[in-house]
Structure 1
Amino acid sequence: MTDRLQQLLSQISELEDELQIVLHDREVPIFFTLRGKRVEFESSLKRLHRDLRIGLIAWLKASEPRRWVAAPFIYGLIVPLVLLDVGATVYQAICFPLFRIAKVKRADYIIPDRWQLNYLNVIEKLNCGYCEYANGLIAYTAEIAARTEQYWCPIKHARKALGTHARYQRFLAYGDAQGYRAHLEDLRAALAKSPERPFNADPRQD
């Protein structure tokens, strides 16, 4: 990787961190205060949330039939999701220490906090909890897979690939045999020293 490319990637990373901070600072003072894992709202906002909550009976009456048809297929995925969760966690617990790869913190990705929103009824909270688990789990396992790929095969594809992870841009060019032999161990060593920031972590917590 050229020095100029490395510089540009570092600048992009810094700008992403700055954007996260600005967006977070605009949102938090307006809506809520964080006290550990607890989210607190002003009393007036709490009342507004309760007033905007749709009762369970009314919500069920307003539900379209297609929701009920889709529900078993949506929630049926909980089984493979849990298996993926257990498998990925066990995998990194055993394999990452063997190769000196820093472990991915599950709590940085799976954040169960939407149940504290009082404008959601019981079913809406259940739906939100399921979504935050599924999407957080996918991001968590994607980072485990990304660190694994960086260790074993940090090579870009010959064709443009959609949905690549954050580490991909630091991978070596396709067909660059000399670069692969020269820099593979550097990329591996970086996993133990200072792995890149999790996708949704607050940069101010460093």
Structure 2
Amino acid sequence: MQDRIDELRARIAALQDQLEQELAERRSRFWDRIENGRVVWEEGMRRRHKELRQHVPGFLAASPIRHTLTAPVIYSLIVPFAILHLWVWIYQAICFPAYRIPKVPMRDYIRIDRHQLAYLNGIQKLNCVYCGYCNGVVAWVREVAGRTEAFWCPIKHAMKTRGPHPHYAHFADYGDGENFRAEWEASRERMKALNCAALGCDHCRPEDDTD
């Protein structure tokens, strides 16, 4: 049974890699390269983008009134998102070194670059900055929470859950008391070893009695 599960995991990982390659090839059809965090467009592409821009007055006139009226509610969420961002950053800074879990880099999750698109007007650019930040915070917090769960409670749920984080597939089976402790220790070791080589950290070192 475990061999079959491992095989399925490997196939899923291979398909995810294939999907990323296809998406990268599709993106390359629209722009040339990235330099210093900015996209370098092919000649004439940026000019064409400016021609496609819908100016703010026309954009507002075409927007349903319900969208305009509810916009303040959407933007009011910046307060809890910012607080969540700060609080989780503090938690990770304090607790992850104690657990010997590598920190989750925010730059891998919070991407704010869509405002560089010349075919967007000012309101659309602001919306894209806001959405990029908030969705990036959620994705970053999810990974922080996933690593925490993998360290403290790596047990699958009895019922199916939608969209589990990447570490969930390695959790112990629900009800498998015989192998729980071994699976728990294995999950902790995976968290400690995660990205150690890339980060150049010392999380892979065995714990000693002086800690």
C-alpha distance in 1 between matches for 2:68 and 2:25: 39
Deviation at 1:11, TM superposition (A): 3.0
Look up the match of 1:200. Answer: none
Q: Secondary structure at 1:39's aligned position in 2? A: strand
Q: Secondary structure at 2:18's aligned position in 1? A: helix
Deviation at 1:72, TM superposition (A): 1.1
Quote the sequence identity (%): 44
Q: How does 1:168-179 map to 2 (within 5 A)?
A: 168-179=168-179
Letter in 1 for 2:127: N
1:29-69 CA distance string (max 9 Å, x none): 43342123111112311111000111122222222211121
Tell me if structure 1 keeps the 8 A contact 2:155–2:171: yes
Structure 2 residue ranges without an equivalent (≥5): 196-211
Structure 1 residue ranges without an equivalent (≥5): 196-206
Deviates most, 85-94 or 20-29: 20-29
C-alpha distance in 2 between matches for 1:118 and 1:191: 42
Change in Cα spacing, 1:150 to 1:160, as seen in structure 2 (3 Å) is same
Tell me if structure 1 keeps the 8 A contact 2:171–2:183: no
1:158-202 CA distance string (max 9 Å, x none): 11112221211111100111221122111101112125xxxxxxx
Asked if 1:111 corresponds to 2:111, the answer is: yes
TM-score of the superposed pair, with normalisation by structure 1 = 0.89
Structure 1 consecutive aligned stretches of length 4 or more whose deviation exceeds 6 Å? none
Deviation at 1:154, TM superposition (A): 0.6
Look up the match of 2:8. Answer: 8
Look up the match of 1:61. Answer: 61
TM-score of the superposed pair, with normalisation by structure 2 = 0.87
Change in Cα spacing, 1:4 to 1:36, as seen in structure 2 (3 Å) is farther
Q: How does 1:132-171 map to 2 (within 5 A)?
A: 132-171=132-171
Look up the match of 2:180. Answer: 180
Number of residue pairs aligned between Structure 1 and Structure 2: 195
Letter in 1 for 2:6: Q
Higher normalized contact order (CA 8 Å, seq sep 6+, divided by chain length): 1
Asked if 1:37 corresponds to 2:37, the answer is: yes
Deviation at 1:7, TM superposition (A): 3.3
C-alpha distance in 1 between matches for 2:176 and 2:79: 42
Q: Secondary structure at 1:70's aligned position in 2? A: helix
